[in-house]
């Protein structure tokens, strides 16, 4: 990773009034199948959080874990979040951004301006 690299959190607003765990799991699995060597595990962390843990290969061939989170913020809606400091996201930033974009697209999410 170059010294000029700057990762920043990215967020998308999801449609709907509640977290749909089955839809999130199915969409995450579809995204993983689109890439060779990528696998995903989807975990219901709490009543208001689902984590999508994508396993990818790093530049040296080492396994890295890209972590994307879906949060239910109650009246403020539901969001998909790519956090630079979660999992190995900073070490696999390009892959993390691509997977997040693909997941957001699959879920019909809209980017939030931060």
Mean pLDDT, the chain cut into blocks of 10 residues (114 residues total): 60 92 97 96 91 92 95 93 94 95 97 77
* The two structure tokens encoding residue 100: 């997040």
Q: Could you tell me if 7 and 75 are in contact, meaning their C-beta atoms sit under 8 angstroms apart?
A: no
Measured CA angle at 11 (ends 74, 110), to 5 deg:
85
Task: Please tell me the predicted confidence (pLDDT) of residue 45.
Answer: 86
**11 beta partners:** 81
Is CATH 3.30.310 the right assignment for the domain spanning 22-111? yes
* DSSP secondary structure letter of residue 103: H
Side-chain half-sphere of 57: how many Cα atoms within 13 Å? 7
Query: Which pLDDT score is estimated for 2?
Result: 37
The predicted model scores a pTM of 0.90
| Bridge partners, residue 14, by sequence | 78
Q: Where in the chain are the domains?
A: 22-111
């Amino acid at each position: 990773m170059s010294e000029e690299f700057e990762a920043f959190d990215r967020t998308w607003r999801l449609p709907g009034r509640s977290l749909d765990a089955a839809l999130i799991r199915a969409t995450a699995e579809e995204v993983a199948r689109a890439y060779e060597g990528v696998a995903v595990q989807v975990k219901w962390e709490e009543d208001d959080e689902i984590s999508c843990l994508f396993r990818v290969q790093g530049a040296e061939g080492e396994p890295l874990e890209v972590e994307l989170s879906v949060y239910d913020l109650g009246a403020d809606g539901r969001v998909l979040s790519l956090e630079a400091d979660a999992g190995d996201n900073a070490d696999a930033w390009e892959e993390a951004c691509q997977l997040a974009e693909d997941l957001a697209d699959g879920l019909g999410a809209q980017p939030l301006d931060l």
